[in-house]
Amino acid sequence: MTETFDTPSRYFAYREGRLFVEEVDLQEIAEHYQTPTYVYSQAALLDALEGYRKGLEGIPHLIAYSVKANGNLALLRLLAEQGAGADLTSGGEMQLALRGGVPAERMVFSGVGKTDKEIRDALRAGVRMLNVESEPELETISAIAEDLGQPAPISIRVNPNIDAKTHPKITTGLKEHKFGVPWDQAVALYRRAAGLSWIQILGISAHIGSSLADTTPLLQTLDRLLELRDTLQKEGIPITTLDLGGGLGIRYDQESPDTPESYAAKIKERLRSAGVMLILEPGRSIVGNSAVLLCRVTYVKRSDDHTFVVVDAGMNDLARPAIYGAFHRIVPVSLAETETESVNVVGPICESSDVFGKQRVLPRCRRGDLLAICSAGAYGFSMASHYNGRVLPAEVLISRKIHRLVRKRETVEELWRHQIWE
């Protein structure tokens, strides 16, 4: 049974027929914190970060963790303590990162729609770099920098028109996408930036997509950034930083993506003599396989054609299967039951898309059984909602034998706390 119900991370494993996170039985977590609950492995999180660091050892670099993947303060603090920075897409994420202990000088602010307030706050905070995504944004940043009397450090995000070969909704590097500056307009925009007194050009940025199992498109993008750097250098525009973005995938099912260390080592080979600072913005590959969503079976509905296992987690807790049709392994917490059956694992939400997995082979489920939805650390809690009047789940962090609550489960009163109805 343990061979059948494997998990994508070695930090989640069966011991004597029970699923453990590091050295803690998930049954204990369910009894102590109830369900649904996100359960994180500290070791898995830090191991992924260390892989990047090992692969890039010997060249200047910054691992700017992508806060959008998961902004839990406890996780941010752990990463910050190990030297990680933060990739931001909003002012709210900047405040989370600051609160989590990430120094502003280790932050990169991305995003196509930065508001004037976000730009102003980022410059005042002293972020390392703003990734510019259009000419109007460049002009806005320049005007705000002049008003503050503070030069704005920037890179320009270019769109290399490279197909990431990933899900269409998370592909961002083709010319039809809203992200970045078209490749054939990049040099002209750099010339414009070089003529603005309150703009300080640091680098070139790109991000072509997310969840890539094959890193070839990422390495092709890096080669294009190096070509553009050479072109700009010849025009007298020095480039000291290359920001390759994120994108490395994780194992959800049978994929075999590069490990962070292997991918980073391939990058290092290309940059050994380049003399630039490298910035990477990994999110999913850091936190994705650090967590499961622990849930409990509420009902089992059997008919002639289908068996539905209804759990107490819903698409409001983990939206990826509903939005992307994403696959997440679903495994039992206990292997006591030896008879298996093919079932559809579904949530309680009033949408036909509230399905975590179809035709999954699981031990014959009964009301009260515990299931773990794997690979839930990235874009799980961060995309959760109150849809159907549901409160947000708890989050628990495990370090070896110790478990601690890092986010309380919401109460129903929080559903209307900010509303005005009188």
pLDDT digits (tens, 9 = 90+) for 35-47: 999 999 999 999 9
Strands 402-407 and 394-399: antiparallel
**Are 388 and 282 members of one domain?**
no
Token pair 């679903």: residue: 330
- pLDDT score of 166: 45
- pLDDT score of 422: 81
In angstroms, the Cα distances linking 374 to 40, 223, 278, 288 are: 11, 35, 31, 9
314 CB-side CA count, 13 A: 19
**Are 188 and 264 members of one domain?**
yes
**Are 155 and 30 members of one domain?**
no
Q: Tell me if 79 is assigned to some domain.
A: yes
**Residue after which a domain boundary falls, among 286, 309, 324:** 286
The answer for 254, left when phi > 0, alpha when psi is -120 to 50, beta otherwise, is alpha
Token pair 């303060």: residue: 73
**Are 141 and 255 members of one domain?**
yes
Strands (E), 254-326: 277-280, 291-302, 307-311
Triad 120, 124, 128: Cα angle to 5°: 100
Number of domains, the chain: 2
pLDDT digits (tens, 9 = 90+) for 108-161: 999 999 999 999 999 999 999 999 999 999 999 999 999 999 999 999 999 887
CA distance 265 to 246: 15
Q: Mean pLDDT for each consecutive 10-residue tract of the chain (422 residues)?
A: 72 96 98 98 98 97 98 98 98 98 98 96 98 96 98 95 53 55 94 98 93 90 95 96 95 92 96 94 97 98 93 98 96 95 97 97 97 98 97 98 98 95 85
Share in percent of the chain as helix, strand, coil (round to 5): 35, 25, 40
**Are 115 and 201 members of one domain?**
yes
**Are 132 and 272 members of one domain?**
yes
Name the nearest CA neighbour of 110 among 97, 129, 138, 96: 129
Give long-range contacts, CB 8 A cutoff, 24+ apart: 135-142. Answer: 135/181, 135/189, 135/192, 137/112, 138/189, 138/192, 138/193, 138/196, 138/199, 140/116, 141/199, 142/196, 142/198, 142/199
Residue 284 phi/psi, 5-degree rounding, is -55, -45
Q: Tell me if 175 is assigned to some domain.
A: yes
**Are 223 and 158 members of one domain?**
yes
Range of the domain at 170: 42-286
Strands (E), 303-385: 307-311, 330-332, 340-346, 355-363, 370-373
CA distance 184 to 47: 39
**Are 390 and 256 members of one domain?**
no
Q: Is 377 in contact with 396 (CB distance < 8 Å)?
A: no
Q: Tell me if 21 is assigned to some domain.
A: yes
Name the nearest CA neighbour of 33 among 316, 293, 399: 293
CA distance 207 to 218: 8
- Where residue 388 sits, what CATH number does that domain have? 2.40.37.10
CB atoms within 10 A of CB 413: 8
Name the nearest CA neighbour of 212 among 156, 172, 159: 172
**Are 111 and 219 members of one domain?**
yes
**Residue after which a domain boundary falls, among 246, 270, 286:** 286
- pLDDT score of 273: 86
- Type and span of the H or E element at 66: strand 61-66
**Are 174 and 69 members of one domain?**
yes
Gyration radius of the chain over CA positions: 23
**Residue after which a domain boundary falls, among 251, 286, 321:** 286
- Residues annotated as part of the active site: 350
